Amino acid sequence: MSFSMDVKNELSRLEDNNLESKKFLLMGLLRTGLVLRSYKKEKRLVFITENAALSRHLFSLVKEISQNSPGVVMLKTRRFRTHTIYGIDFTKLIRNDTHGMLKSMGISLSPEGDALSYEPIFIKSRTHKRAYIRGCFLATGSISDPDKSYHLEITFANHMLTEEFIDFLKDFDIQARQIMRKGYYLAYLKEGQEIVDFLNVVGAHSSLMDLENIRILKDMRNQVNRIVNCETANLEKTVKAAYRQVENIKYINDHLGLDKLPKSLHDIAFLRLENPDISLTELGRLLTPPLSKSGVNHRLRKLDKIAEDLMKKQN
């Protein structure tokens, strides 16, 4: 099961005894998720989902708030393998909206029944905003696998609904961005911390903890990789320097003779030839008396300079 499905399952099972909050949850679900589809040669107003828990939750909400039960249409799809899609039919309910439930949510169907329209809504209560945002995510939201990337998006039918949703998120200090894709508007978040904050707003606290654990592990892996990469780079640098030093000392021996060098340089040259793989610190410990890393480096640089001067003379 995907992380996105886990989040939706958690949200679909949240207990909420506040009827007003339930109304705003339903508002978010319907304003975001209702679509017109042809079914048996007739235009039907349906809410489509692959999530069984969400379909049951939505059905219960509508029954409780509207005193009516929308017809449930079971459909099949052949995407890769057959699985059930749940279609909850609102056509009859919206045509006989005697209680004005859908109208109060800013949703209306054209007289011909071939187009949906929406009016702007205003929500003052932060609690009700949370419920509305949760409904929007349940309807068309998705979250990528956080082990791979951080991306949360919600699809809307028009620009007004998208802007409205983004404005509600701003009240919780979450700044979503929007793009257009295949004729639909998307509000999205790309940062791990933004998605953590979003899950907190909608009440998916178990999923939030799972995401935080994944983020901690990813940060630890990244830190270890940075350390390993740094150490590897330093090791490569050390190996290259040691190789250069050995080659220069051999050149001095062939063209001048190590016995012509001062004792301090002769000793370090001899030790480097015998120990090409050890560090400068370890090299310094082999001297009598021992020499610091910087002291060893200084003497080896002198040898490099002698080799360089000899090469210039040879040329």
Q: Place 170 in a pLDDT band, splitting at 50, 70 and 90.
A: very high
Among 92-101, 122-131, 155-164, name the one with the lowest average pLDDT. 92-101
Range 3-203: architecture per CATH: Roll (3.10)
Read off the pLDDT of each residue in 249-257 and give the average, rounded to a whole number. 89
37 has pLDDT over 90: no
65 has pLDDT over 60: yes
Q: Place 19 in a pLDDT band, splitting at 50, 70 and 90.
A: confident
For residue 76, what pLDDT is reported? Answer: 53
For residue 133, what pLDDT is reported? Answer: 97
For residue 221, what pLDDT is reported? Answer: 84
Q: What is the DSSP string of the chain?
A: --HHHHHHHHHHT-----HHHHHHHHHHHHHHHEEEEEETTEEEEEEEES-HHHHHHHHHHHHHHHS--PEEEEEEE-SSS-EEEEEEE-HHHHHT-TT-HHHHTTEEE-TTSS-EEE-------HHHHHHHHHHHHHHHEEE--TTT---EEEEESSHHHHHHHHHHHHTTT---EEEEETTEEEEEE-SHHHHHHHHHHHT-HHHHHHHHHHHHHHHHHHHHHHHHHHHHHHHHHHHHHHHHHHHHHHHHHHHT-GGGS-HHHHHHHHHHHH-TTS-HHHHHHTSSS---HHHHHHHHHHHHHHHHHHHHHH-
For residue 71, what pLDDT is reported? Answer: 64
52 has pLDDT over 70: yes
pLDDT in tens, 98-147: 557 778 888 887 767 677 888 999 999 999 999 999 999 999 999 999 88
- Regarding predicted confidence, which is higher, 67 or 175? 175
Read off the pLDDT of each residue in 238-260 and give the average, rounded to a whole number. 88
Read off the pLDDT of each residue in 219-234 and give the average, rounded to a whole number. 85
- % the chain with pLDDT above 90: 38
81 has pLDDT over 70: no
77 has pLDDT over 70: no
Radius of gyration of the chain from its Cα atoms, rounded to whole angstroms: 35
**What does pLDDT average to over the chain?**
86
For residue 203, what pLDDT is reported? Answer: 92
For residue 196, what pLDDT is reported? Answer: 94
Q: Specify the domain boundaries for CATH 3.10.28.10 within the chain.
A: 3-203
2 has pLDDT over 60: yes
79 has pLDDT over 60: no
Q: Place 285 in a pLDDT band, splitting at 50, 70 and 90.
A: very high
- Regarding predicted confidence, which is higher, 44 or 261? 261
pTM for this entry: 0.72
Which of 84-88, 91-95, 120-124 has maximum average pLDDT? 120-124
For residue 171, what pLDDT is reported? Answer: 94
For residue 143, what pLDDT is reported? Answer: 94
Read off the pLDDT of each residue in 20-26 and give the average, rounded to a whole number. 92
Read off the pLDDT of each residue in 279-290 and give the average, rounded to a whole number. 90
245 has pLDDT over 70: yes
